[in-house]
Structure 1
């Protein structure tokens, strides 16, 4: 099989896996074969430290999920993995070889590098961080190369070629999980009331839409459908949307490619993230034979904001401490907090240590949970243009 044929087979399998979790292992096996890796790990997380949330994690070797590796990583090594804060701070899309994530001393002494990655055949792998949905990070890590000569330029080219499709796979899957619709049939998706669903035929014409999507199209809230064809209301955004549809439904029944775009809504502050996903023939039932592409339109998650004054009052913190705690709960890392407040990272850590002692806690995740628990009391909307500025102590 040529590399192009293998790429198209892998892409088609990834499209099926985005809509149906039972297809995941088949897609994982083809991903490993395409890049000549003995295995790979795919993680969706948020947070730039060991306290970050993990929403999704799969370690797959060949066509088999290695839950034993996942369990060992989470329970025995995560809290001392030197890679985690380094990977999550990488620029979007930057490729890094695994040895580069460890210092020379760590490569000799680190239990993660010598024990975990040794057992997983992953000491000479590849890593990339991708911007994920709702401020999350998609971490894609390959284990060692299956070829005895190691990574070639062809392997790296395939890795880079699959990179945007990995991001799209995770984004579509996340949108379906948020809508409680993962694994739902195409017909069943039309009954979903939590996200906008539209189904297109091979001409790109809408053949079915759920109630929420019909309301949006009727109100021209960023999207409309003259003659039944999906359009963005803003001319400058419509050309990009049409390119997405054309790539998802190519002529002559070629292999479609999924993609996403941001489309402005009816007000300056409202936006839609539009995912256009090819629908492979195997996912079409007798009622949905005409469906060639699926469109999901979701609102970006609104940033969490808790009034620092409320945090200070409820938790007994100073003005500075409550401000830093609110920023941490909003998903900012220590480096970002330091940059935005004009402090050194060591100073931010010092303030956090004071907060931990006051509250009798030991981890950033515990502080975030305490702050977010106040959200129901935070009835006042965030002021327009607010920048979290408050006087220092």
Structure 2
């Protein structure tokens, strides 16, 4: 079952802007196979939109995940489908930044432990404060890891440790991964755009990336949301 108070819930930003020229959904969809964990994109009704190779293999095994008659993603462990669907709907309809992402520990059908991460990558019911914000149907990223991810270490902490990012640089990196733009991050945090761009240059230098797309590729391959 879900551990509702699992300490992996992370902070997010209020207004995810589309990543030019592609939307955040298109960008993440195109990079799914960089992830070693089973990763899927679903709608707010939990209908499957895309899956990487690891997720397709897991679905074919029909152990912990199933596809229902309406194309919806279903859980085969401990009757948790309804709670999983509720989590997806809550992330899709969130109006507060803290509600845009969840990380949960679950017990699998084999009795093991796994980490299930749910994050919005575009659209949804949040209150947009900028015309550039995505306002279409929500797309939700679902990642299933082997449970080795440290629950008491946030993604930002990991980036600080692994790449010597400052806390601000780590938050900006995570925001870019979720589909925010530099301008959107500046508006949401009240920091000057020029200052945010300065932080971005530091990030690219430390991570040895040529640009934002290379940075997102790196983040997609090494971390979970």
Give the structure-1-normalised TM-score.
0.27
> When you count helix as a share of all residues, which structure comes out higher?
1
Give the structure-2-normalised TM-score.
0.44
**Structure possessing the higher relative contact order (Cα contacts under 8 Å, 6 or more residues apart):** 2
Pair member with larger Rg: 1
